[in-house]
Structures are given as structure tokens and as C-alpha cells.
């Protein structure tokens, strides 16, 4: 199975495909095959999450592979709509490697007037000469203790 070239031909395209592949109404099965084809073998999705049973840290990285991420979010997506949209981006690229700092908003319905969550995705990319691959997406949600700095709302 091969990725749709239009999803992986540019940094802009692969970022848009990543957001699109996780977005949809409650109960709608996401196109996980499309999402899988965006990620290189061994890729990681790394939310910063609260750690049950630990009082020494507020947040810690939760290391997931693509299948672990799917297993984690499928029950959530079955119950609630989830639409994530990029609202600002910064890109650093050298040769075949790139880092994307992507500010996002999440809504249960695309027409909701305000997001229920915002945050930043740190995305590492690699171009093998034919296409772009996601190596990792590492993210943190905004909180009252950690508001997103204004500079990350400008691209």
C-alpha cells in the first residue's frame, strides 16, 4: 500500500493530511490506513500527559507508536467529535530534515465558536528523496498554568 502522493509531496501537504486523518464526527471511523502511510516505520506520537500515580511530575511524555495512538484515541473518537486545525506554523528545514512547530485548536464540531483545547505539535519530518515522512509528533496542550505565548500564534 502506498501513500497518496498528494499527502506526502510537501511539508504543507503532510501536515494537512495528519490533521485531516484524525478529524471527524463522533462515531465515524477514521481513515487509519491513510494516517499510517504518513509515518515512517518506528515513528512515535508523544503526548505530554498526566501520569497516574505519580506526584513528582505534572506532565510526562507518553511514548506511543502509531498503533498505540490509534488504540488510545479510538474510544474517545467513538463518543465525541474531534476536529483539530492548525492555526499557525513555523518551519525550520535543512536539506532533507524539517521541524514544524504547529499551533493547533481542537473542537468537537467544526462550527463550535470556541475550541475546547489548544496546544502545540512539535513535528519532525524526513524527505527520502521521493516523499516526506513523519518521524514524530510530540505535543502539549495549553493550560491555565502554561498558556501558549503570543509569538506562537503567528506563522
Whether the predicted pLDDT of 10 surpasses 90: yes
Residue 49 — very low, low, confident or very high, per pLDDT cuts 50/70/90? confident
Q: What is the pLDDT of residue 50?
A: 76
* Coil vs helix vs strand at 151: helix
Provide the pLDDT for residue 53: 64
Region 106-113: what's the mean pLDDT?
A: 96
User: Diameter of the chain by CA atoms?
Assistant: 46
Distance between CA 114 and CA 33 in Å, rounded? 30
Map grid coordinates 474510544 to a residue: 75
Which pLDDT score, from 0 to 100, does residue 51 have?
67
pTM attached to this predicted model: 0.92
Please report, in angstroms and rounded to a whole number, the separation of the first and last CA atoms in the chain: 34
Q: Are strands 97-107 and 132-141 parallel, antiparallel or unpaired?
A: unpaired
Q: Over the chain, what is the mean pLDDT? A: 94
Q: Domains for the chain: give ranges and CATH numbers.
A: 5-147 (3.10.450.50)
Amino acid at each position: 500500500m502506498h501513500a497518496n502522493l498528494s499527502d506526502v509531496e510537501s511539508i504543507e501537504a503532510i501536515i494537512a493530511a495528519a490533521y485531516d486523518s484524525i478529524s471527524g464526527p463522533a462515531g465515524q471511523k477514521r481513515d487509519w490506513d491513510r494516517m499510517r502511510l504518513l509515518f515512517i516505520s518506528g515513528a512515535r506520537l508523544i503526548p505530554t500527559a498526566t501520569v497516574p500515580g505519580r506526584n513528582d511530575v505534572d506532565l510526562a511524555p507518553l511514548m506511543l507508536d502509531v498503533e498505540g495512538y490509534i488504540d488510545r484515541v479510538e474510544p474517545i473518537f467513538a463518543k465525541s467529535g474531534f476536529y483539530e486545525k492548525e492555526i499557525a506554523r513555523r518551519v525550520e528545514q535543512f536539506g532533507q530534515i524539517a521541524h514544524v512547530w504547529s499551533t493547533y485548536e481542537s473542537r468537537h464540531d467544526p462550527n463550535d465558536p470556541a475550541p475546547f483545547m489548544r496546544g502545540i505539535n512539535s513535528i519532525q519530518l524526513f524527505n527520502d528523496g521521493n516523499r516526506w515522512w513523519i518521524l514524530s509528533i510530540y505535543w502539549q496542550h495549553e493550560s491555565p498554568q502554561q498558556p501558549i505565548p503570543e509569538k506562537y500564534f503567528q506563522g
